[in-house]
Structure 1
Amino acid sequence: MASAAEGDVGTRTELSGVLLSAFEELSLNKLATSLGASEQALRLIISIFLGYPLALFYRHYLFYKDSYLIHLFHTFTGLSIAYFNFGNQLYHSLLCVLLQFLILRLMGRTVTAVLTTFCFQMAYLLAGYYYTATGNYDIKWTMPHCVLTLKLIGLAVDYFDGGKDQNSLSSEQQRYAIRGVPSLLEVAGFSYFYGAFLVGPQFSMNHYMKLVQGQLTDIPGKIPNSTVPALKRLSLGLVYLVGYTLLSPHITEDYLLTEDYENRPFWLRCMYMLVWGKFVLYKYVTCWLVTEGVCILTGLGFNGFEEKGQAKWDACANMKVWLFETTPRFTGTIASFNINTNAWVARYFFKRLKFLGNKELSQGLSLLFLALWHGLHSGYLVCFQMEFLIVIVERQAANLIRESPVLSTLASIAVLQPMYYLVQQTIHWLFMGYSMTAFCLFTWDKWLKVASAELVQKRLSPSSQHSRAPAPGQRSRRLEDMALAAVPLPPKSSSGAKGETLVGGAEGPVASQGSPLHVALSPL
């Protein structure tokens, strides 16, 4: 009787587990469908916002606790987030973390260890891109893995620097050099920290260890007073999310591929490209502001004090929002966007190429590395190549104005400053739009189609040529049509367009461009 009862209980327990799992899947599917997004996108958004309750738990129950408990908490929560989003494919990150730990222990603080780390981690990431990438944003294991790749390469370099004579290192290298020998649990906690596992930001092993040791607080011996700064970044991220949600049905990259866009007047295509080029970046801004809030809440965002004694919480800031919104120069946008990734490339790649003796070559190789790190699509190479050329032209134009007495005098006229600013912003975001076209459309056939629309004038049939000269009675109607055309339009029916998911469209249902969940999270 006892065995029969136990078997009955076991059957009921198993059945309850199956029903609970089915209920969860059904709920996620229904909710994702109602929001016009894929289930993968919904899981990703839930995981990002889940960082806030996890950070609160850490603040109240684990701050100043034993280090191994904190590492275990970060490892367990990060792995849970990975499994929730990617299932058994979390083994990719586990494998790379474990092998990286073995490389550090077996090869030590050597150049061989650094080169092995760089080659293995980048090769693994590129192989993942090759086998999983599609023509859309992909919600695959490669999305957080690109963030992990930079973390592990930076870890190897800092560990190598830790074995050098301190006097031979720059002040920056001394700050990040790892003197001790990280344990497997420390490497895992650093790699899977829930506030940055999916989309960043980047931070060093030393900074992470300061968090674990309770040093990242503005009140020594107490929990950091970071709730208000964290909520400010979260609120700002939600503002961008709402703005993106309201405008996304009217400003889409899909429209760039339609015949309706090709048939618009040149000035209207430029206007649309200008608006779209600024707007398309809002999805990245939203993502980074929300995750920055999580890092601030845990204390990871603590960055010392200002001269007046006020605490700074920008250690994990990936955006300088005011600079991003107001700068009229391309270099200003670069300085305000994806800050931590750019700082990582400068610290671990660009400055390490100093032996080449050529700054432009080092910059070009750094941008090539960034392009490959994003993926294997040709659009990434074109985007960063255009960025490189535009920055060079912008600097030469600034030097020309500075060295010319006439141009300098004209540029200093206060009354004309608003007009200069408007012209600069127009040129700035127009070229940004064309750079982002290749970045967002990925494949050469798509971005080349948009580029050719500006270079090739379509031949008009006799009937269309006749229609170019409207009768006097039709003129008011044509002017009205042009006024309506000035408003960015959603794409009309495109040939076999499937739409886009949040970060990947190869699997699952199509995500609506107007969905609040349509926030592309692939790192820029």
Structure 2
Amino acid sequence: MRVNNNNNNIHNPFVGNVTTALLPFNVLVQSLMQWPKVLESNSSVFIMKIHPLIHPLHDLIRNISNMLGVDESAATYMFFLMVMNFPMAVLLRMTRFGKWRAFLGMWMGLFYTFYTFGVETLHSIVVPLIVYIWLYVTVGMSDRVVQYLRQQRRTRMVVPMVAFVFSFGYLLVCHYHRMLTDYLGWKLDFTGLQMLITLKCVAVAWNLHDGILLNNPEKSSQVMSHHHPFHRIHRLERMPSLLEYFGFLFFCIPVLSGPIYEMSDYLNFIYGQDLNHNNNKDNNDDDTSDDLKNTNRERNNPPIPYLLISKKILLAIFNMFLVLKTAPYFGRETFESIIYEREGHKELMNHSTKILNPNSLLYKFLFSFACMTSIKFKYIVGWCWSEAALLIAGFGYQRDYKNGEFSFEGAEAVKFLDHFLASNLRDVTTTWNVSVSKWLRNYVYTRVGERPGTLATVVTFIVSAIWHGVYAGYAIVWIHYALAMSLIGRLAHKKMRPYFLNDPEHVFSEKNSRVMSCIYKVLSFIATACFTSYLLPPFLLLSWEHSIQFFRSMYWCGHLAFVPIYLILNYLPSTRGREKHHLSSDQMDINIQKKKKVQ
């Protein structure tokens, strides 16, 4: 939930006389973002006709807004997320498989978004429509074009990369416009919706790309050997219909807050069958409809996980309580007072200032950790409500390609305990906003080269920074985080774990000492907390000025310690090499004995 929190202490460097060179670009961006307003003025007659139908809802949301003390846009967001989603989940579960499910979910999603964001929702309709036209022209219209695209990797990459560049390019324009009009603010607008829509559009483009690759009879074996299992499972071998496509984009339950999901999971929910069966269908609406009518009785909804739903609801309520208790003390304004050493924050933190000097490095580390923890609670609230509704509807029930077991991981947004108890930098990112983390891994990280490494990690974090926005704070966070995770995180995992654990791959293995495992986890947690407390605050502070001031207030200790830590870890004697040598020698002896027995 975004709340107005404009910062008037710093001037917007992107407007006014300071940026005369950017003035033409700013005018172009503002003009591009204003085109839905023209349709709003032309649709006034239609709005007046439907106003009596939605007037009671508007009055209800206004009363909620006044009662909670939030603006109407935030109250609308909360109403759809916490009140409307649950009856919609039950209704969707009861709706027959096929087009009716897709139609109902899509139109309710459009109602959610138009009521919340108004005509600005058109941005999130036109951009996917252009992407769909591009995909249809290149993949769904002509077999000759498909055959040409299959010839070389470069030609195949054109399809998803054009969708990626266009979708993310338009999203960057939206972020830039938001920065012009609401600098350092957190007002609820359509940008959040556009962020989710962008990821879904790019995912569909890559799914079709993977379907084309795997359907190439001439190079099928070559491509299959280099293909990631996730890519094979979620590939699309046919062009989705417009109803399937926009139903996937605007599925009502997670449309406002996430989590995002795969097209294969959506089709499984709509048709009640595996994606492979859907891919084999002829892309003819009438044929699909007839087949659904003939086999509708054989399809069943997945079981309702009552215990998991209860946990999600309780977790949402618990985090709502944490938001109310921590938000007044650990907001951005208070954090800025700390790093600028202003007066005023001491009144809020009377108890802590009696113990620690508020200008000390330890106090700033602890306060940074508290702030970066506190801001996460409001996001967890929204995700948990959406997850609970998705579970009721039966969405996200999928088979794990590693162990073959079914679970509801397709509807997972956050791993609460795993995130807050994370003992390495990688787990911090993979357990937070899980669906976006998976998207970055499967559609960015695994696409950069055949064997992703440091370059793939840096590219992934750059894409993540662009997706979040154009503030300097996002770039500062993700570039620093990528370097820390690639150069220090992996090296520490490789060099330090064998000193504590006999079985380095499993912390609490029977081969390891229980005491040493606990010591390792505690030390790893503290080290991770120190790193994140130093690396993540620019994500909250947003601007370049505030971010640099934060590092200055911390005496640049993290930057100064980076090279010594890297050198120490790099030259630290490793025990894993000796273990691998012994293991390989033992394995060689076993192989020799097997050969002798065969002879």
- Give TM-score, length-normalised by structure 2: 0.66
For 1:269 and 1:341, locate their aligned partners in 2 and report how far apart those are by CA, in whole Å: 30
Moved more, 237-246 or 259-268: 259-268
Partner of 2:281: none
- Equivalent position to 1:79, from 102, 110, 113: 110
Match of 1:437 among 528, 534, 537: 537
Unaligned runs of 5+ in 1: 1-13, 458-524
Equivalent in the alignment of 1:382: 476
> How far off is 1:370 after superposition?
0.8
Verify: 1:54 aligned to 2:93, yes or no. Answer: no
Q: Check conservation: 2:430, 2:438, Cα contact below 8 A.
A: no
Question: CA separation in 2, counterparts of 1:313 and 1:415?
Answer: 34
Q: What residue in structure 2 maps to residue 222 of structure 1?
A: 300
Which moved further from structure 2: 171-180 or 296-305? Answer: 296-305
Contact 1:319 1:337 in 2 (8 A): yes
Q: Once the 2 structures are TM-superposed, how far is the Cα of residue 25 of structure 1 from its aligned partner?
A: 4.7
**SS of 1:354 mapped into structure 2:** coil
Instruction: From the superposition, tell whether residues 323 and 17 of structure 1 become closer, same or farther in structure 2 (CA, over 3 Å).
Output: closer
Q: Distance in 2 between matches of 1:243 and 1:82?
A: 28
The 1:46/1:453 distance shift into structure 2, 3 A limit, reads same
Gap runs ≥5 in structure 2: 1-46, 140-145, 150-155, 275-296, 346-356, 558-599
Letter in 2 for 1:121: S
Q: Among 245, 252, 257, which residue is 1:187 paired with?
A: 245
TM-score (norm 1): 0.75
2:352 is aligned with 1:252 = no
Aligned match for 2:77, one of 18, 40, 44: 44
Residue 370 of structure 2: aligned partner: 275
CA 1:310 to 1:264, structure 2 compared with 1: closer, same or farther past 3 Å?
same
Alignment correspondent of 1:511: none
Alignment partner of 2:444: what SS?
A: helix
Q: CA deviation at 1:145?
A: 0.8
Percent of counterpart pairs with the same letter?
A: 18
**Contact 1:71-1:186 within 8 A present in 2 as well:** yes
Contact 1:256/1:450 (8 A) holds in 2: no
CA contact (8 A) 2:458 2:483 kept: no
| 1:127 and 2:180 matched | no
Q: Which residue of 1 aligns with 2:125?
A: 94
Judged with a 3 Å threshold, the aligned counterparts in structure 2 of structure 1 residues 174 and 325 are, in CA distance, closer, same or farther, namely: same
CA, structure 1 residues 33+265, in 2 after alignment: closer, same or farther (shift >3 Å)?
Answer: farther
Q: Aligned with 1:163: secondary structure?
A: helix
Q: For residue 394 of structure 1, what is the aligned residue in structure 2? A: 489
Aligned counterpart, 2:137: 106
Judged with a 3 Å threshold, the aligned counterparts in structure 2 of structure 1 residues 88 and 312 are, in CA distance, closer, same or farther, namely same
For 1:101, give the aligned amino acid: Y
Structure 1 position 91, deviation (Å): 0.9
Of residues 194, 202, 205, the one that matches 1:145 is 194
- Is the Cα–Cα contact under 8 Å of residues 321 and 336 in structure 1 kept in the other structure? yes
Task: Tell me if 1:174 matches 2:205.
Answer: no
The SS at the match of 2:93 is helix
Pick the aligned partner of 2:527 from 418, 424, 427.
Answer: 427
Count of aligned residue pairs for this structure pair: 438
List per-residue Cα deviations over 1:21-41 (Å, max 9, x = no partner): 666555534432431322211
Change (3 A) 1:308 1:152: closer
Change (3 A) 1:303 1:349: same
User: Are the counterparts in 2 of residues 306 and 312 from structure 1 also a CA contact under 8 Å?
Assistant: no
From the superposition, tell whether residues 418 and 351 of structure 1 become closer, same or farther in structure 2 (CA, over 3 Å).
closer
Letter in 1 for 2:301: I
Give matches, 1:314-329, under 5 Å. 314-329=409-424
Question: 1:265 aligned to 360, 368, 372, which one?
Answer: 360
Give the residue type in structure 2 aligned to 1:47: F
Rounded to whole Å, the distance in 2 between the matches of 1:44 and 1:75 is 17
- Residue 254 of structure 2 aligns to a residue whose secondary structure is coil
Whole-angstrom CA distance in 2 between matches of 1:305 and 1:116: 30
Structure 1 Cα separation of the partners of residues 48 and 488 of structure 2: 66
For the aligned residue pairs, the C-alpha RMSD in angstroms reads: 3.3
Q: Summarize deviations over 1:291-315 as a string: whole Å, max 9, x none.
A: 1222222222212489999852222
Aligned pair partner of 1:31 in 64, 88, 92: 64
1:272 Cα deviation (Å)?
1.5
Partner of 2:164: 118
Q: 1:185 to 1:43 in 2, by over 3 A?
A: same
Answer whether contact 2:269 2:396 (CA < 8 A) is retained: no
8 Å Cα contact 1:52/1:294 also seen in 2: yes
Range with greater deviation from structure 2 (98-107 or 296-305): 296-305
Q: 1:358 to 1:56 in 2, by over 3 A?
A: closer
Q: Does residue 346 of structure 1 match 2:441?
A: yes
- What is the 5 A alignment of 1:270-309? 270-304=365-399
Q: Give, in whole Å, the separation in 1 of the partners of 2:403 and 2:109.
A: 37
Counterpart position of 2:455:
361
Match of 2:310 in 1: 231
CA deviations 1:152-191 (Å, max 9, x no partner) are: 1110111122222254232332211111221111111111
Tell me, what secondary structure is at the counterpart of 2:259?
coil
For residues 57-93 of structure 1, what are the alpha-carbon distances to aligned partners after superposition, in whole Å with 9 as ceiling and x for unaligned?
Answer: 1112x133xx222221122111101111111111111
User: Structure 1 159/358 Cα, relative in aligned 2: closer, same or farther at 3 Å?
Assistant: closer
- For residue 212 of structure 1, what is the aligned residue in structure 2? 270
CA separation of 1:18/1:83 partners in 2, compared to 1, >3 Å: closer, same or farther?
A: closer
Question: Contact conserved, 1:292 with 1:301, CA < 8 A, in 2?
Answer: no
Distance 1:307 1:93 in 2: 35
